[in-house]
Amino acid sequence: MSDFGRQIIDWYKENKRVLPWRSTQEPYRIWLSEIILQQTRVAQGLSYYERFVKEFPQVEDLANASEQEVLKLWQGLGYYSRARNLHFAAKQVVEDFGGVFPRDYKSIKSLKGVGDYTAAAIASFAFHLPHPVVDGNVYRLLSRYFNDDTPIDTTQGKKQFQAYADELMLTDEIADFNQAMMEMGAIVCTPKNPSCETCPLQNSCSALKEGSQLELPIKAKKVKVQDRFLHYIVVDANGYYLQQRDDKGIWRNMFEFPLIESQKEEEDISVLAKKEGFEILGSPLYETKHILSHQKLHVKFWKAKADEAVLEKYIQVDHLEDHAIPRVIDRFLEEMMEKV
């Protein structure tokens, strides 16, 4: 006598937020929104969604763009592999599926950047196929509903919570069921201050009964953060001298100032810069810490000069509108503009 699905769907219909991707059944737009929203809050992704739809109204428009155009529009959102995969997948739709978005779960999942969660979201929202979504919100909601302390970041945990969702889903209202689970996780069953007193599941939630809701879900692994020391060389000249990052590590294929990375905080940057042909002028123009999920970047920007023979190795641009750059460099440029 599980009323789980009925209760969350009824709650959802009364409490759902109005969001642009909820008022369309176009698979292209639903897919786009899902990629943007991976590991990203609605408030942060909203403006990016609007800009992508405006710039690339159809999947063909996205497929015909250059990777740099896509990265540039993605700039500031992070996890840039999503943008490259999005672009790649748009070309898959055009070339492998004749420009028609695939309509079955397996084909949807064959698109680059589309895993179990995203395939289930597209399949259910666009085509009403009975695939429950299991994302961070759902792990939290179900681990609490069943008071289950199986770690969610293990193979066993993924199978366990997928099985719960398979059992609970209402197949003939799958789109609302899936939206309801995620909206519950986003609005009611939140990580820190869940609204248990207004929750539609308060009479059947096992964690609330045990008072364990704040301890769930359990994660087994702990992330270790690596410290890195980045020194960007800003050559004092007309325009900017840039280099393109290679195809591995953070910020793949994006643009940056000439970079010197030191192993320790206190290394003599002038000496390291000299080896690359740059003469450092004065103290750092700007320094900051840039925190990623797995790296802590200690970033300094140095004014420098160099011979023409050295500068030849870099890309000279007058303005940066056509180049995707990391947020930390963008922020440095904003900082410099204010001082002028």
CB distance 296 to 230 below 8 Å:
no
Contact string (CB under 7 A) for DNA, positions 77-116, x = contact? xxxxx---x--------------------------xxxxx
Taking CB under 7 A as the criterion, the residue among 252, 298, 303, 305 binding DNA is 252
Closest CB 136 distance from DNA, rounded Å: 3
Q: Does 221 bind DNA (CB under 7 A)?
A: yes
State the nearest-atom distance from the C-beta of 103 to DNA, in Å: 17
248 binds DNA (CB under 7 A): yes
CA-CA distance, 182 to 126, in Å (whole number)? 16
Q: How far is the CB of 285 from DNA (least distance, A)?
A: 19
132 lies in the binding site for DNA (CB under 7 A) = no
- Name residues contacting DNA, limited to 257-286 (CB under 7 A): none
Q: For the beta carbon of residue 283, count every other beta carbon within 10 angstroms.
A: 9
HSE (CB half, 13 Å, CA atoms) of 19? 21
- Residue 43 makes contact with DNA by CB under 7 A: yes
User: Could you tell me how far CA 123 lies from the centroid of its own chain?
Assistant: 21
Number of residues that bind DNA (CB under 7 A): 60
- Answer for which of 266, 293, 308, 321 binds DNA (CB under 7 A) is 293
Q: Distance between CA 210 and CA 196 in Å, rounded?
A: 13
Q: Which of 40, 68, 162, 206 binds DNA (CB under 7 A)?
A: 40
Q: Is 19 in the site for DNA (CB under 7 A)?
A: yes
- Joined tokens for residue 188: 């009611």
- When binding is defined by CB under 7 A, the residue of 2, 39, 64, 195 that contacts DNA is 39
According to the binding rule CB under 7 A, does residue 251 interact with DNA? yes
Is residue 34 annotated as part of the catalytic site, yes or no? yes
When asked if residue 23 is in the footprint of DNA (CB under 7 A), the reply is: no
CB of 302 to DNA, least distance (A): 20
Tell me which residue of 329, 316, 297 sits closest to 243, measured CA to CA: 316
Q: Does 154 bind DNA (CB under 7 A)?
A: yes
Among the listed residues 34, 50, 279, 308, the single catalytic one is: 34
Binding region for DNA (CB under 7 A) out of 5-13, 34-42, 53-61, 202-210? 34-42
Does 294 contact DNA by CB under 7 A? yes
- 27 belongs to the binding site for DNA (CB under 7 A): no
194 or 258: CB nearest DNA? 194
Give me the residues that bind DNA (CB under 7 A), please.
19, 21-22, 33-34, 37-44, 76-81, 85, 112-119, 121, 135-137, 140, 154-156, 179, 182-183, 185-186, 191-193, 219, 221, 248-252, 290-295, 326-328
Task: Give the residue numbers annotated as catalytic, written as ranges.
Answer: 34
